[in-house]
Structure 1
Amino acid sequence: MRAPAFWAASGGVMPLLLAPFSALYAQATARRMAQPGWQAPVPVICCGNATAGGAGKTTVAMDLGRRLADRGVAAHFLLRGYGGTTKGPLRVDPATHDSTMVGDEALLLAEIRPTWVSADRAAGAKAAVAGNARCIVMDDGLQNPGLTKDLSLLVIDGGFGFGNGRIIPAGPLREPVAAAAARCQAAVMIGEDETGALDLLPPGLRVLHAKLVPGPEAAMLRGQPVYAFCGIANPRKFFATLQEAGAVLAGREAFGDHYQYDAEEIQQLLDQAEAARALPVTTKKDFVRIPAQFRSRVTVVTVGLEWAESAQIEGLLDPIAGRVPIPA
C-alpha cells in the first residue's frame, strides 16, 4: 500500500474529517496495550516504532542480531511476517519459503539468524525458546501486548518523523508518541531529524543516533547510470543512497510498500533500463519479491547501520546479555 500524502504534512481537511475514527483507533490500542503479556524465560528486545510503515526497524534488528551473535548469544528473530500468508508459528527457511508466504523482512532476517514468523507473538516466542533461542529480537511489535519486552527501542526515520502527528487513519501514528515512548528505554533516530520529531519525545528518554550506509556493492556503481526501482515505505531514501554512492540515476520507479512484482512488470522495468542504457538496481527487500527467473539480471544494493556512538547501543545490550540463560 501507499501511505496517503496527507499523512506527511500538517493541515488539510482530510485529517479533520477522519479525527473521530482516529480517536476510536487510539482508544482500541490503549485498551489492547493494557493487557498483560507472556514473560519469556529469555530476554526479549523489541525494535518498534510509533508510525505505520517503515522506519528502519528491520535494519536495527539485523544490527542487534549481529551484535548479540558476536557476544556468543544465540538470538532468534521474531516478527509477524507482514505481506505473507502464514500465521505461524513457523521457522523461516529461505530455501523453501518465499515472500508471499513469510514476507520479505523475514527472508532478510533469516539470512543472519534463526527467524520465526508468528501472528501470535507469544506463541512465536515459545516456539523460538523451544528451538533453543537464548534471546529474542522482535522486528516490530511495540503495539502488540502479547509478549513482555525487556528492552524496547523506538525507531524513528529522521526524514519522516511522526508525519502529521495524527493517529490512523488521520495520520500515520499507531498511538500517541508519548504512549509509545513511555514503553521504550531509548529512541533510535536514523538520519538527521528533519521534522523536529525529537522535540516530541519525553525529556528523559535516551536518544541514540545512527545513519543508513550503503553496502560494499554500492562502490561499484560510482559513475554508473542506474535504473532504480523499489517498493518500500520511503523510496526517497533508496534513491538518495544511490546518489550519495555516486551512481547516476537514469530512471526511477517507486511502488507501494511490500509490493509483489509479477513477471510482466519486471520485464517492463528491465526493458526501460535497457532503453536508458542503465543498470537495473533495487533493494534487498525488493529483490526477494522479484520472480526468481529475473533475479540474475538485477543488481542489489544493501544498506547497513552506522551508529554515532556504538558504545551506547552496546551499553543497552550489556544487561540483556547478562540475563541470557546458560544452556543446560
Structure 2
Amino acid sequence: MHPPAFWFRPRHRPGLRARLLAPLAAVWSWAGRRRLAGQTPERLGIPVVCVGNLTLGGAGKTPTVIALVSRLVAQGVRVHVISRGHGGSLEGPVAVDERRHSAAEVGDEPLLIAPFAPVWVARDRAAAGRAAEAAGAEIVIMDDGFQNPALAKDLSIVVVDAATGFGNGRVVPSGPLREPVARGLARADMVLAIGAPADRAAFAAAWPETAALPVAGAALAPLDTGMAWEGLRAFAFAGIGRPAKFFATLRALGAEIVAAREFADHAVYDRRILSRLDSEAHESRAQLVTTEKDAVRLPPDFRRKIIVVPVRLALDDWAPLDTALARIRRPMQRGTTSE
C-alpha cells in the first residue's frame, strides 16, 4: 500500500481522518502492547543488536544493517544477521544463499545483506538466532523485529527517515506508527536519524523526546560504480517504502527522469507489469533504472535490462555506535572474546 498523505501531517494538526481512525489505532496499539507483554524473550549466549523502527517501512534499516555488518567484519567479529524474510515462503531457519534462493523464498532484504555476512531467515526469530549462534556467530544483528518479543535484545537502534520523522505521531491506521513514540523510545538504546542535515535538524526540533537518547546522524549516498548518469534518459521505477527518495537520488546524479513509476514496498513484479514497463521505456527511448531492493525481486532475464543504483549508509560519526557495540561485546561461551 502507498501511505496516505495525512499520515505525514504535523503532529499538532493531524486532520479529521486521523481523528476518525483513532479508535482503530487504539486497538492496534493495545494489541502491540499485549504482544510484547505476553512473551518472555529468549536470551542467546551472544549479543543481539536489533535494527528496527517505529514506522511502517522506508526508514533505512537494511542499509543500516549492511553498514553495521561491514563495521564489525572489519574488526574481525563473526557477525550473522537474522530476518523474518518478509514476503518469502520459507519458514526456516534457513541460511540464505543469494546464488540459489529467490526473493519469493527468502524475501528481498536478506538477499541484499547476504553478500556481506551470513543471513538466517525464519518466521521464528528465536530459532534464527539459535541457528546463527550454533553456526559460530559472535554477534547477531536482527534486521527489523523491534516490536517482536521472541529474542532479548542487548542493543536496540531505532532508525528514522529524518525527512518524514514519525509522521503525525499516530498509530496505524491513524498514522504511520507501529506503536506510540513514547513506548518505543522507552525500549530503545539509540536513535539513528538518516537524511540531509536540514531534515535531521527539523526532525530533532519536531521530536524533542529523542534527545533523551543518544542520536547518531547518517545519510544514504549512491555507491560510485563509474556509471555516467549525467543526461541519461531514465525510466525509473521503485517498490520501496519511499520511492520519491530514489527518484530524487537519480535527479541529483544528473539523470533525466522521463517517467517515474511507484509500486508498493516489497512489490511482486509479474510478467504483465514487467512487459508494460519494458514497452513504455522502449517507447520513451529511455533506460530502465531501479533500486537494489527492487532488482533482487526481478527475474534474471529482465534484470539484465536494468541499471541498478546501489546506495550505502555513511555515518557522520561512528563513535556513539562503536561505544554501544563495545559495551555489549562480552566473552563468548567458547571462552574467547571478540576484542
SS at match of 2:281: helix
CA distance in 2, matches of 1:315, 1:123: 28
- 1:327–1:67 Cα change, 3 Å: farther
Matches within 5 A, 1:24-103: 24-34=27-37, 35-103=39-107
CA distance in 1, matches of 2:134, 2:86: 23
Bigger mean CA offset, 124-133 vs 211-220: 211-220
Equivalent residue number for residue 252 of structure 1:
260
Aligned residue identity for 1:300: V
User: Deviation at 1:252?
Assistant: 1.0
SS at match of 1:251: strand
TM-score (norm 2): 0.91
Equivalent residue number for residue 108 of structure 1:
112
SS at match of 1:136: strand
Q: 1:231 aligns with which of 236, 239, 264?
A: 239
CA distance in 2, matches of 1:219, 1:252: 20
**2:216 is the alignment partner of 1:216:** no
- 1:268–1:202 Cα change, 3 Å: closer
Native 8 Å contact 1:73 1:321 kept in 2: no
Count the aligned residue pairs.
328
Equivalent residue number for residue 3 of structure 1:
3
Native 8 Å contact 2:194 2:200 kept in 1: no
SS at match of 2:228: helix
SS at match of 1:226: strand
CA distance in 1, matches of 2:28, 2:208: 21
User: Deviation at 1:273?
Assistant: 1.8
Bigger mean CA offset, 212-221 vs 139-148: 212-221
Equivalent residue number for residue 15 of structure 1:
18
CA distance in 2, matches of 1:6, 1:188: 24
**2:182 is the alignment partner of 1:178:** yes
User: Deviation at 1:223?
Assistant: 2.5
User: Deviation at 1:323?
Assistant: 4.7
**2:279 is the alignment partner of 1:276:** no
Native 8 Å contact 2:61 2:144 kept in 1: yes
Root-mean-square deviation (Å): 1.8
CA distance in 1, matches of 2:293, 2:108: 6
CA distance in 1, matches of 2:272, 2:92: 31
**2:209 is the alignment partner of 1:201:** yes
CA distance in 2, matches of 1:94, 1:202: 37
SS at match of 1:24: helix
Native 8 Å contact 1:231 1:259 kept in 2: yes
CA distance in 2, matches of 1:327, 1:283: 43
CA distance in 1, matches of 2:304, 2:87: 24
- 1:278–1:300 Cα change, 3 Å: same
CA distance in 1, matches of 2:16, 2:115: 45
Bigger mean CA offset, 262-271 vs 19-28: 262-271
Aligned residue identity for 1:15: A
CA distance in 1, matches of 2:85, 2:209: 29
Matches within 5 A, 1:132-211: 132-192=136-196, 193=199, 196-198=202-204, 199-211=207-219
User: Deviation at 1:3?
Assistant: 2.1
SS at match of 1:156: strand
Native 8 Å contact 2:7 2:14 kept in 1: no
CA distance in 2, matches of 1:203, 1:161: 14
CA distance in 1, matches of 2:309, 2:284: 19
User: Deviation at 1:271?
Assistant: 2.1
Bigger mean CA offset, 110-119 vs 205-214: 110-119
Unaligned 5+ runs, structure 2:
none
User: Deviation at 1:196?
Assistant: 4.3
- 1:18–1:201 Cα change, 3 Å: same
Unaligned 5+ runs, structure 1:
none
User: Deviation at 1:133?
Assistant: 1.4
Equivalent residue number for residue 120 of structure 1:
124
CA distance in 1, matches of 2:293, 2:224: 17
CA distance in 2, matches of 1:16, 1:285: 34
- 1:101–1:200 Cα change, 3 Å: farther
Native 8 Å contact 2:193 2:215 kept in 1: yes
